[in-house]
Chain A
Amino acid sequence: MPINLLRTLIPQLKSYVSTTDISLQSQALSLFALLLQLSPKSTFLEVEREVLEDVYGIAYSPLTSGAALDSVLTFFGALVEADFQIATHVVSSLTRGTPEKPKDVSYPNVAKCVAQVVKSNHALAAGVIAEFSKNLKVGLRVAMFLRLTAFPETFGSTGPLYCSSDPWGDWSFYVRLVSTKEVDDC
């Protein structure tokens, strides 16, 4: 893609990255993901500088679900694959930069985004799991479902360490807020 075309296109797409219109936002994020796949070098810097902060906001939003969430995940996957070095930064921004009001944050969304980043950069898996394990006692009890089948090279195991019936889908790494009773049942 010619660079001048990208410089015109990216600001226009950016204006759709908001929760005002979820459907168009989803399409805009899918296009960003496509641009990151097609022209990673020329798109990455622009996206990191102009769009990434807004996407964090969308990832936190409880309004983001279904196809819109899929496009957020595709975006994060493409972003990390465009430049692996950003993966750690994305994980820390997703988990530490949450809004002040906890009710405004969809933790399942954040967890899925972290999972997607780890999927796109397996080298992060051990570090991210260790980081999340430290925060298990904050506020609500947190249950971590670690499905290790995707990371045998990291953990030397092909079987799941801890596996639920997994009604949430096939996530390699999943953090979910649950009630104390549910954790005990697990």
Chain B
Amino acid sequence: MLTPVLLKTLGEKHPRVASEAFKAFSALLGALKPVRGQDWVESVYEEAIARLANHATDAEVRSCAEDIVGDLWLNAPETVHAKGGQEWEYVCRTSGRTDGAVKVVTRVAREADVTETWVNGCVEWATKLLTKSGRTGKAEVFECLTVLLLRSVLSTGVALVVIGHSSLSTDMTTACRSTCYAL
């Protein structure tokens, strides 16, 4: 009942309407977590990709589209994992405003199930962001790098010392412990 109407508003030209529609889907994904076998998830993903791929997309809409990519990774992982990660090519750009992308990558790295390849790709991207001039957003990039590096522990289980690090979420700490105990 609700989703067809919301899906229609996602494609609206008016940036305020489109961005509010993305926010509504973000809330819906969070409420229905974990989301499986829902057609509308696919449509939301496609619309987010379309918005992110378009350089003329309004900044607010782009920010919401970036957020929803994070929400999809956290709440509908089965759908996005099947896509091969093409959304990150659009999220992780090095020009223009990158603060929203940094937040999404940090959030996904902290909370979602990610692969080592994804982590390494994001570290490479964040390293490129450090070369940009100016101070704006640099602190967030450092935080992002910290979370990404800690995340690499989950796949290797090499560093017992990082358990309890302030940048680890509760889930990551538990996962770290499990990995280390398994060794």
A-to-B contact residues, CB < 8 Å: 1-2, 5, 8-9, 12-13, 15-16, 21, 23-24, 27-28, 30-31, 34-35, 37-38
Contacts and interface: CB of A to CB of B under 8 A. Distances in A.
Contacts of B53: none
Given A5-B120, A37-B161, A30 B146 contact: yes
A27 B127 contact: no
Contacts, number: 53
B139 A23 contact: yes
B127 A9 contact: yes
Given A27-B143, A38-B152, 11 more contacts: A1-B152, A5-B124, A8-B127, A21-B135, A23-B139, A34-B150, A34-B162, A35-B149, A37-B159, A37-B161, A37-B162
B27 interface: no
Contacts of B161: 37
A34 B127 contact: no
A24 B139 contact: yes
Interface in B147-183: 149-150, 152-153, 158-159, 161-162, 165
Contacts of A1: 120, 123, 149, 152
A35 B158 CA distance: 12
A30 B150 CA distance: 12
Nearest to B124: A5
